[in-house]
Amino acid sequence: MDSTQDLPRIIEGTLHRLLQPEDLATIFRYDHDWYRYYSLLLTTGIWPVDAAMLTFNNISWARSVIGHFRQTNNKYEEVSVPPQLLDDYPQGVPPETPLFPELFSAVEYQEYRLEQLSEMLGPPTDYLESILSAAGQPVASLVAFRVTYDQIIRDSHAGSGPAELQLKGILPEKIKLPRS
């Protein structure tokens, strides 16, 4: 069975759109406060709210994976993280320290209401929209990183893997996607 059949279909014309090469170039052109967060979303496919709740305890440095419980279904999953992306995070930090303290909340996802989630993810969402708008590109949501990740994985199964995409300049050179 083809594992790409399990990936969601990409619906054009929504905020949860596929990020184009020019979008990624704009987003990753400069080092900014949300660079690591956006990089993690793009290279792992983790949902934005799940990434916001990660702590250093979730990282397995030796295996280059992040393990976490998906907040929407409470299932444990591990995702590969490019080792050079992990180099951006300090080691030896207390395990309970959030990866993104400005977003972190220890309250369970199920206890949140939609407006609380929007408020929690507001700053990175607003920044993403502002840099894309300033560049004259259509705005996108944080979920667009997951949509783009899914498309990259789908393409890698079709013979156009992450290495080929990087050579074509679609992904920033610093970000390396693992093969799935």
- Containing domain of residue 88, as a range? 16-167
Q: Is residue 121 part of a domain?
A: yes
| pTM of the predicted structure, to 2 decimals | 0.78
Predicted confidence at residue 142, as pLDDT, reads: 93
pLDDT given for residue 119 in this prediction: 76
Domain membership of residue 30 (yes or no) is yes
Give per-residue pLDDT as tens, 38-84. Answer: 999 998 889 998 898 899 999 998 898 999 888 777 788 898 888 87
What is the Cβ-side half-sphere exposure of residue 160, based on CA atoms within 13 angstroms? 9
User: Which token pair is 17?
Assistant: 């759109």
Domain annotation covers residue 60: yes
Tokens read off for 139: 């705005």
* 175 part of a folded domain: no
User: What's the domain count of the chain?
Assistant: 1
- We report the CATH number of the domain holding residue 89 as 1.10.443
Domain membership of residue 161 (yes or no) is yes
* 178 within some domain: no
Does 5 map to a domain?
A: no
- Give the residue ranges of the chain where pLDDT is below 50: 1, 11, 109, 163-164, 166-168, 177-180
